[in-house]
């Protein structure tokens, strides 16, 4: 159960929507009046587990909003307003109700007389219809796994509604640590591989082997000694060290197929299976492989021919499983001739891109050309995008302005699934809750305005501190734009935009944010977490920053002692349950080394 925040509750005027959103004043449906329920929730007697959970969630949040207790009953129910949850229940108000064309996630929200239909495709559509109604029409917000905003309205009425929506993206995953919470994920309509989404929460897309699976499917320790010809030939020698597979070797392909089928039989929930290159270069240079790569004008052609053959061979036994591969590093450029099978997913990776500029910018021309190429030949093009700094999760990473434009760019280029990789191993990365929430909203509807979503989150999550948080983010984003820094996903703490002036101005805004909410411990702690990235960067460059302050005559914004600063950082970080500062290493070793080398 979410902890209901009493701070900054979002009081949203109920939307009275018809079709394209025109307001009407009549045909109102009364859900509650002065804290008394005036409607019942109706589900079919044989409702699925996700539909039952949708009804329970609707009852719970309506009670939080109105103070009234709502009964959950079966059709036909009493002769009063009904909230019909699920397609079968919907038929009691509209006999011709159909979910055709909704897929697994599409929704319908529709008033019929004194009834309200909340239903959708199987298995997640009905859940998503309920959460969309609660969010878009009643004002509920689920900012994080622990913070929400639920309005209070003892009398609750809605006007005529007629909403039908099928998400553009079939796969939606903001890959941030807090976003793995099952309740947060389903309420924000995420359906990717990692969140803890059980059957009642609608399930999810499940991978068999998530990525970089060549060594998993053909382990070198098991096979190389007897079959060196199954592995890459590099500079005339077969090798297993940082190598790939020889994709023209038919015996290897048969063994990989056997192993893959065995894995799929053990994982019946899988909807996608990864057959993808290891996380390095080292593609095979033997004569056969080189000839196909030359014909296809790049390594992606050979890779895709191989993956297509595997997809053909698993289709009969596993008709509902797609084969996923990567367009990554040496396979990023689309092939000249071969096209992906209908049951093949190509995941194009943006790892080399600059994230201080939108992907449509000329700075990212190479990636733009690649996505245009793949979008012309692939019906299930997925994106592996990067929204954090893996080298320093906790450091300022001013990429928020590109999130909205980039998701829209993907959707405009025939993309069907997006994996937004963030700080997935720890709480407390820079603006983690904001990024996860904004990405979830964009993935559900890529037409949303990214900056408006950022502003909404800041206002709802930080309340009175919000204007100062917004000002701090403006400081860092303006700085990276002025610096022309690349801002990749492995940025160093010595980046040009992280100047003494930028960090000092940013910290001043964050201190003002803390002062604005100093009487509220909950909000004050949220602001203190937001201060950690600037404190971290100061400590990593302590002597340099002290010298710049002295030379310029500027006030020193941090404590006099790095030890004092570190102790405060550690106290806040532990309370937030931050366990690491980068992708790879547990603990706070980087800061401990900074303490050791600091002179003052």
In this structure, how many other beta carbons lie within 10 angstroms of the beta carbon of residue 425? 14
Element (H, E) at 568: helix 562-575
Instruction: Identify the CA nearest to 469 among candidates 507, 518, 422, 427.
Output: 507
Against a cut of 0.85, is the pTM above it?
yes
Let me know: does 4 contact 60? Beta carbons within 8 Å: no
197: CB partners within 8 A, 6+ apart: 182, 185, 186, 191, 203, 204
Torsions phi, psi for 81 (to 5 deg): -55, 140
Instruction: Identify the CA nearest to 540 among candidates 492, 488, 578, 491.
Output: 492
How far apart (Å, rounded) are the C-alpha atoms in residues 239 and 87?
57
How far apart (Å, rounded) are the C-alpha atoms in residues 245 and 230?
6
How far apart (Å, rounded) are the C-alpha atoms in residues 326 and 299?
12
Token pair recorded at residue 80: 């009063």
Identify the pLDDT of residue 66.
98
Mean pLDDT of successive 10-residue stretches along the chain, which has 600 residues: 40 34 62 98 98 98 98 87 97 96 98 96 98 98 98 98 98 98 98 98 98 98 98 97 98 98 98 98 98 98 98 98 98 98 98 96 96 97 98 98 98 98 98 98 98 98 98 98 97 97 98 98 98 98 97 97 97 98 95 89
C-alpha torsion sign, points 473, 474, 476, 481: positive
111: helix, strand or coil: strand
Q: What is the architecture of the domain spanning 171-449?
A: Alpha-Beta Barrel (3.20)
Element (H, E) at 562: helix 562-575
Let me know: does 140 contact 117? Beta carbons within 8 Å: no
Let me know: does 470 contact 431? Beta carbons within 8 Å: no
How far apart (Å, rounded) are the C-alpha atoms in residues 226 and 286?
18
How far apart (Å, rounded) are the C-alpha atoms in residues 86 and 52?
9
Identify the pLDDT of residue 263.
98
How far apart (Å, rounded) are the C-alpha atoms in residues 485 and 496?
7
Identify the pLDDT of residue 599.
75
- The count of residues in the chain is 600
489: CB partners within 8 A, 6+ apart: 351, 355, 386, 388, 389, 390
Rounded to 10 degrees, what is the CA torsion of 478, 482, 485, 491? -30
Instruction: List C-alpha distances in Å: 110 to 70, 72, 517.
Output: 20, 19, 41
Identify the pLDDT of residue 178.
98
Token pair recorded at residue 403: 């999130």
Per-residue buried b or exposed e for 250-274, using 16+ beta carbons within 10 Å of the residue's own CB: eebbebbbebbbebbeeeeebbbbb
Superfamily of domain 29-165: Chitobiase/beta-hexosaminidase domain 2-like (3.30.379.10)
Tell me the pairing of strands 272-274 and 148-149.
Answer: unpaired
In whole angstroms, how large is the CA radius of gyration of the chain?
Answer: 26
Domain boundaries, the chain: 29-165, 171-449, 463-597
Report DSSP letters for 21-47, one per residue: T---SSS-EEEEETTEE-EEEE--TT-
How far apart (Å, rounded) are the C-alpha atoms in residues 9 and 213?
46
Q: CA angle, 407 as apex, 406 and 408 as ends, to 5°?
A: 90
DSSP 234: E
Identify the pLDDT of residue 535.
98
Token pair recorded at residue 383: 């994106």
Q: How far from each other are the two terminal CA atoms of the chain, in whole angstroms?
A: 48
Tell me the pairing of strands 141-142 and 207-208.
Answer: unpaired
In this structure, how many other beta carbons lie within 10 angstroms of the beta carbon of residue 501? 12
1: helix, strand or coil: coil
Q: CA angle, 37 as apex, 31 and 41 as ends, to 5°?
A: 70
Let me know: does 311 contact 344? Beta carbons within 8 Å: yes
Report DSSP letters for 473-518, one per residue: HHHHHHHHHHHT----TT--TT-TTS-HHHHHHHHHHHHHHHHHTT
Let me know: does 181 contact 195? Beta carbons within 8 Å: yes
Token pair recorded at residue 368: 């733009």
Torsions phi, psi for 315 (to 5 deg): -60, -40
In this structure, how many other beta carbons lie within 10 angstroms of the beta carbon of residue 113? 11
41 beta partners: 72, 83
Identify the pLDDT of residue 600.
63
Torsions phi, psi for 36 (to 5 deg): -115, 130
DSSP H helices, 298-396, are 299-314, 365-377
Token pair recorded at residue 174: 């903001």
How far apart (Å, rounded) are the C-alpha atoms in residues 225 and 267?
29
Let me know: does 143 contact 454? Beta carbons within 8 Å: no
Identify the pLDDT of residue 15.
36
194: helix, strand or coil: coil
């Amino acid at each position: 159960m979410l902890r209901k925040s009493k701070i900054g509750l979002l009081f949203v005027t109920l939307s009275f929507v018809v079709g394209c959103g025109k307001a009407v004043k009549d045909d109102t449906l009364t859900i509650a009046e002065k804290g008394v329920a005036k409607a019942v929730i109706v589900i079919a007697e044989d409702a699925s587990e996700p539909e039952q959970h949708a009804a329970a969630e609707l009852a719970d949040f309506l009670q939080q909003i109105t103070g009234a207790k709502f009964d959950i009953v079966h059709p036909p129910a009493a002769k009063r307003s009904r909230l019909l949850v699920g397609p079968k229940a919907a038929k009691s108000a509209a006999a011709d109700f159909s979910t055709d064309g909704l897929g697994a996630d599409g929704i319908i929200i529709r008033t019929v007389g004194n009834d309200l239909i909340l239903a959708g495709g199987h298995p997640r559509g009905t859940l998503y219809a309920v959460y969309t109604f609660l969010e878009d029409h009643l004002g509920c917000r689920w900012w994080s796994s622990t913070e929400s905003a639920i309005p209070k309205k003892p009398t609750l009425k809605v006007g005529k509604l007629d909403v039908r929506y099928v998400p553009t993206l079939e796969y939606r995953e903001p890959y941030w640590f807090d976003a793995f919470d099952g309740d947060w994920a389903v309420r924000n309509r995420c359906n990717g591989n990692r969140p803890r989404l059980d059957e009642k929460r609608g399930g999810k897309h499940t991978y068999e082997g998530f990525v970089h699976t060549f060594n998993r499917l053909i382990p070198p320790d098991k096979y190389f000694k007897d079959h060196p010809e199954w592995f890459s030939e590099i500079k005339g020698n077969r090798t297993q060290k940082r190598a790939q597979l020889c994709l023209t070797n038919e015996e290897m392909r048969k063994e990989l197929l056997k192993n893959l089928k065995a894995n799929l039989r053990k994982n019946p929930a899988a909807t996608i299976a990864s057959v993808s290159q290891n996380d390095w270069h080292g593609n095979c240079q033997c004569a056969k492989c080189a000839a196909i790569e030359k014909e296809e004008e790049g390594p992606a052609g050979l890779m895709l021919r191989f993956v297509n053959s595997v997809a053909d061979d698993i289709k009969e036994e596993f008709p509902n499983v797609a084969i996923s591969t990567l367009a990554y590093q040496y396979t990023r450029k689309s092939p000249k001739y071969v096209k992906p099978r209908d049951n093949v997913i190509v995941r194009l990776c943006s790892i080399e891109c600059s994230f201080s500029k939108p992907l449509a910018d000329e700075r990212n021309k190479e990636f733009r050309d690649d996505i245009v190429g793949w979008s012309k030949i692939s019906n299930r093009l997925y994106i592996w995008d990067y929204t954090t700094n893996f080298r320093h999760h906790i450091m300022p990473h001013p990429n928020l302005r590109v999130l909205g434009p980039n998701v829209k760019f993907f959707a405009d280029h025939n993309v069907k699934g997006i994996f937004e990789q963030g700080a997935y191993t720890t709480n407390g990365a820079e603006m983690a809750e904001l990024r996860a929430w904004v990405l979830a909203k964009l993935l559900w509807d890529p037409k949303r305005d990214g900056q408006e979503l950022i502003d909404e989150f800041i206002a709802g999550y930080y309340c009175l501190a919000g204007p100062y948080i917004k000002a701090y983010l403006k400081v860092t984003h303006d700085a990276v734009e002025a610096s022309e820094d690349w801002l990749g996903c492995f940025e160093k703490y010595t980046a040009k935009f992280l100047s003494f002036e930028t960090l000092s101005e940013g910290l001043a805004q964050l201190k003002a944010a803390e002062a604005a909410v100093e009487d509220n411990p909950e909000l004050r702690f949220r602001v203190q977490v937001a201060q950690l990235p600037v404190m971290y960067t100061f400590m990593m460059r302590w002597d340099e920053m002290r010298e710049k302050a002295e030379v310029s005559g500027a006030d020193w914004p941090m404590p006099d002692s790095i030890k004092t600063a570190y102790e405060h950082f550690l106290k806040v970080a532990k309370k937030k349950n931050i366990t690491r500062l980068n992708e790879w290493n547990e603990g706070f070793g980087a800061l401990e080394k900074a303490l050791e080398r600091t002179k003052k």
